[in-house]
Structure 1
Amino acid sequence: MSTVLDLVRPDLRDFAGYGSARSERLQGRIWLNANESAWRNPADAADACRRYPEPQPPALIDALARLYGCAPERLLVGRGSDEAIDLLVRALCVPGRDAVLATPPVFGMYAVCARLQGAPLLEVPLREDDIGFDVDLDAIGTAALERGARIVFLCSPSNPTGGAIAPARVAALARRLLGRALVVVDEAYAEYSSMPSATGLLPAMPNLAVLRTLSKAHALAGARIGVLLGDPALIAVLRRCQAPYPVPAPCAALALEGLSPPAQQATAERVALVRRERGRMAAALAALPCVRRAYPSQGNFLLVRFQDADTAFGKLLAAGVVVRDQRAAPALADALRITIGSPGQNDAVLAALRPARPAASAGGAAAAGVRT
């Protein structure tokens, strides 16, 4: 019977990794086993950085496990989702043989990590229809089986298009690829979505993994806390392949505070506001004459096609508004991605894109009884 370990590179299945001073789990009063300084740095008033941190901070692991509703042994924490993507590709793909499959236009790190590993990149483009963009899961499954994909990345909600994939569809693909490929669902924007998370599928799907992050809805992008959820055997392998100290102690402490009940309540309120603003912005942008189409989105952003994207981008920059230029992405030569900001920031976007009002002539103003 196949297990998720069959998808791991053969040379890494029993790889022990680096045994750091913290991984030995020793106890003592005087710590002289890691060649650390006996004195704190003068700038480190809290003495938070003199010692190497826990590789997988237990308190943070427990808090994240509660947040995502999974057992701690199913969870790996690291430096953002980027590190987890890179770890997966390096641990599962034999260079030159095992392929990575992605669905452009989509988050570019899947392709970058494949390139760095020397893994062939397979692409099954998203399909566009009257509703928006969607994945072609039948084509994905066929391409993965016929062309040797070891990892299939699904982005849900998808960046930059905003579409989400129902868990039942994810499960059907994972069943089809059982023993052949790992299906990875990137849920960086899941908090903004009405679609249920794929995390509920994990106990029944050993070849499924889910990426989550504290960078978006939890407003901790600078702390670089990313999470991979998956089969415990896969998580154990990845922990051995991970750098010795991936989570700086101050970042772990900040993340723990950011997951406290008051902080989570504030996060929920802000997510609700973003959802309301997303609907308002979608309608307002679609009504502008410069906009060809504003796509529905389950994320905290909108993908917008413009009559003249270069002019729109320039107007926004002139107003001090920086958005993501998508014109180099496949099938998005006229598109920009606009993050949903605060109501005031969103108003600034609309003001920059609205047509300029024609100035009234002096004669017309006088005829209207307007003092010039």
Structure 2
Amino acid sequence: MNTMLNGRVLDLVREDLRGFAGYKSARSETLRGDIWLNANESAWANPADAQASCRRYPDPQPQALRERLAQLYGCTVDQLLIGRGSDEAIDLLVRALCVPGRDAVVVTPPVFGMYAVCARLQDARIAELPLVDSETGFVADLQAIGEAAIAGRAKLVFLCSPSNPAGSVIALADIALLAKRLEGRALVVVDEAYGEFSDNVSATTLLASHANIAVLRTLSKAHALAAARIGSLVADAELIDVLRRCQAPYPVPTPCAELALAGLSDAALEQTRQRVELIRSERSRLQAALAALPEVLRVYPSQGNYLLARFRDAEAAFRSLLTAGVVVRDQRAAPQLDNALRITIGSPEQNDRVIAALRALEMAA
């Protein structure tokens, strides 16, 4: 069964890329020696490079980091690809699977914009299935998504869970049903950039029975390493191998890999866990405080590290927060969100400033 599933996943890859060898860099060779003269590198370190770690090209997929990330995400090493944030993995998937002008990508607005950006750059058709604004929050209509994917000959279906900016999640059972329905037709990509803040179990647990599921993870959010640009794609090993051959030669700078590995030590992971719990607690507190303000029309339940809120006067709320030195994400240009702002959950002190700024708006009204 697994062999059949793997074959179907590879069938989703563009025909011209299935046997693509890609660029073979100097560091992809398994040669050994103590004098490296194969990559035209400098024999001396830059004066600013105190550790002398940057004069050599990096390992394209740093093994120690790859092993640590695989352990963190509950997958095997050959199921994981490290890239420059989740953005690179999204771009690789669209370029490797979608034939320009022919294949489609399904997205669920309002949602993270890079799925549609990468599709446009590849000249892949974009099928939009908007989230449904319900009493329980924004929800994905997976029945309609499946129908649109089949009718539109989509190669990729992007599901963001927790959704950015809506904060809603999709049950694993529903993801599994969609993947089963689209088996042999499309890859279901679950973006779990905010997964650490969620009650949901990761969709990586579905990979063993659904080879057409792929999962995006990142160290940018809960692990506080946004500037290091370390993202991961967890997927079928054969698909990962194809994507690796389509990837740029040196995607992971050595200083970033070293920082990420240090940031995934047992001690660092324990501190991250504690901070995630604090964010979850503060999320509940801020949600209650915002919901009590007359100027706030609605605060959506969220399983991310942010809250989406609708305001009577979103412009006034945005300006009041700016006056207090607080910058939030203006969502008014996004579909269905003409009066909404997205507020990241900060430290308790930062959240207090948000509440105070919005209370000041109420007093001025």
- Equivalent residue in structure 2 for 1:41, among 40, 46, 59: 46
C-alpha deviation, 1:179, in angstroms = 0.3
Q: Aligned pair 1:244/2:244, yes or no?
A: no
Rg bigger for which structure?
1
Paired residue for 1:346?
Answer: 351
Return the letter of the residue paired with 1:48: S
Shift of 1:204: 1.1
Q: Which residue of 1 aligns with 2:307?
A: 302
Query: What is the 5 A alignment of 1:24-39?
Result: 24-39=29-44
- Aligned partners of 2:330, 2:267: CA distance in 1, in Å? 36
1:87 aligns with 2:92: yes
Is 1:135 equivalent to 2:140 in the alignment?
Answer: yes
Q: Which amino acid aligns with 1:299?
A: G
CA offset at residue 128 of structure 1? 1.1
Q: Distance in 1 between matches of 2:34 and 2:348?
A: 53
Q: 1:204 aligns with which of 188, 209, 223?
A: 209
Describe the SS at the equivalent of 1:59.
Answer: helix
Q: Distance in 1 between matches of 2:138 and 2:216?
A: 21
Q: Deviations over 1:115-174 (max 9, x none)?
A: 000000000000111110100000000000011110000000000000011111100000
Decide whether aligned partners of structure 1 residues 216 and 194 sit closer, same or farther in structure 2, where only a CA change above 3 A counts: same
Structure 2 residue 128 is the aligned partner of structure 1 residue 123: yes
Aligned mate of 1:174, from 166, 170, 179 = 179
Counterpart of 1:205, as a letter, is: H
- Residue 198 (structure 2) pairs with residue 193 (structure 1): yes
> Which residue identity lines up with residue 72 of structure 1 in the other structure?
V
Q: C-alpha displacement at 1:355, in angstroms?
A: 4.0
SS of 1:62's equivalent in the other structure is helix
Equivalent of 1:21 in 18, 21, 26: 26
Task: Give the corresponding residue for 1:369.
Answer: none
Alignment correspondent of 1:364: none
Structure 1 position 34, deviation (Å): 0.1
> Where in structure 2 are the equivalents of 1:131-280 lying within 5 Å?
131-280=136-285
CA distance in 2, matches of 1:25, 1:19: 11
Equivalent position to 1:5, from 4, 10, 33: 10
1:113 correspondence with 2:118 = yes
Query: Which letter maps to 1:182?
Result: L
Distance 1:285 1:133, change over 3 A: same
1:285 and 2:290 aligned: yes
Separation in structure 2 between the aligned mates of residue 7 and residue 84 of structure 1, nearest angstrom: 16
Provide the TM-score with structure 2 as the length reference: 0.97
Q: For 1:343, give the aligned amino acid.
A: P
Query: In the aligned structure 1, how far is the partner of 2:122 from the partner of 2:361?
Result: 50
For residues 235-280 of structure 1, the C-alpha deviation after alignment (integer angstroms, 9 at most, x for no partner) is 0000000000000000000000000000000000000000000000
The answer for the alignment partner of 2:72 in structure 1 is 67
Q: CA deviation at 1:358?
A: 6.8
Q: Which amino acid aligns with 2:236?
A: D
Q: 1:317 to 1:31 in 2, by over 3 A?
A: same
What residue in structure 1 maps to residue 81 of structure 2? 76
Q: Structure 1 residues 289, 233: closer, same or farther in 2, change over 3 A? A: same
Deviation of 1:24 after TM superposition, in Å, equals 0.8
State whether residues 106 and 156 of structure 2, in contact with CA within 8 Å, keep that contact through their aligned partners in structure 1: yes
TM norm structure 1: 0.95
Structure 2: how far apart are the matches of 1:260 and 1:338?
30
CA contact (8 A) 2:320 2:361 kept: no
CA–CA distance in structure 1, aligned partners of residues 165 and 146 of structure 2: 22
| Unaligned stretches of 5+ residues in structure 1 | 360-372
Partner of 1:365: none
- Alignment RMSD (CA, Å): 1.0
For residue 144 of structure 1, give the secondary structure of its aligned residue in structure 2: helix
